[in-house]
A and B are shown apart, each in its own frame.
Chain A
Amino acid sequence: QVQLVESGGGVVQPGRSLRLSCVASGFTFRSYAIHWVRQAPGKGLEWVAVIWPEGSNKYYADSVKGRFTISRDNSKNTLYLQMNSLRAEDSAVYYCARDPSGSTGTTEEGYFDFWGQGTLVTVSS
């Protein structure tokens, strides 16, 4: 079955960096766009970034553009989120979420058919 498992969260000081990983299994990873979505404690969901199946196209929310980088290693079925210059407002649970693009034959649909369990990032001094 489809599984997405995030890791790499933790407590980090403002201005520092953190890299999140998401290991996928149960589907042909290289055929699907994958997103990062975050949720601050007690708040709603916020889309962060997407990477297309071959990694050729990447798009970001304005709130993280220039600070975060999404990447993938299709040989390892792994998605990454490099987060630099972290701010208190980046504190959230970060989910990786599969886009159903691989099932529909597109590069990106824009919604999320499977989600990981999330990893918590806390930015605090």
Chain B
Amino acid sequence: EIVLTQSPGTLSLSPGERATLSCRASQSVSSNYLAWYQQKPGQAPRLLIYGASSRATGIPDRFSGSGSGTDFTLTITRLEPEDFAVYHCQHYGTSPLTFGGGTKVEIK
């Protein structure tokens, strides 16, 4: 089973700042099968990124994903008020599918 470790656990930033979230895998993720989701309180997750760097339909270009192998990054170039949420990474391509523990991006 691939274990995903997200850091930091909480990121305190101000609107307009840049957010950099990390997701590290315990073994190499095949074909960069890595997705990112955003989740707001009381809501279901929303797909942001798949294939490590492809934005899902309707996702603003301030969200970008990068990385390969065991190290992946989600970057939000300029935080908007609606971006404060919890972000989850997830690997796919091998079973079982697993998620990281999440990073909360909170308003400083």
Contact = CB atoms under 8 A, between A and B. Distances in A.
Contact of A110 (B33, B43, B44, B47): B33
Chain A interface mostly: loop
Interface in A54-101: 59, 61-62, 95, 100
A46 B99 contact: yes
A43 B98 CA distance: 14
A26 interface: no
Interface size bucket, B side? 20 to 34
A47 B44 contact: no
Given A45-B90, A109-B92, A110-B93, 10 more contacts: A35-B97, A46-B99, A47-B97, A59-B95, A62-B96, A111-B47, A111-B50, A111-B90, A111-B97, A113-B50
Contacts, number: 53
Chain B interface mostly: loop
Contacts of B56: 113
A114 B33 CA distance: 17
A50 to B, nearest CB: 8
B44 A95 contact: yes
B37 to A, nearest CB: 8
Contact of A47 (B46, B93, B99): B99
Closest 5 CB pairs of A and B: A110-B92, A115-B44, A47-B97, A111-B35, A45-B99
A45 B88 contact: yes
Chain B CB within 10 Å — which of A45, A61, A95, A111 has the most? Answer: A111
A118 B44 contact: yes
A44 interface: yes
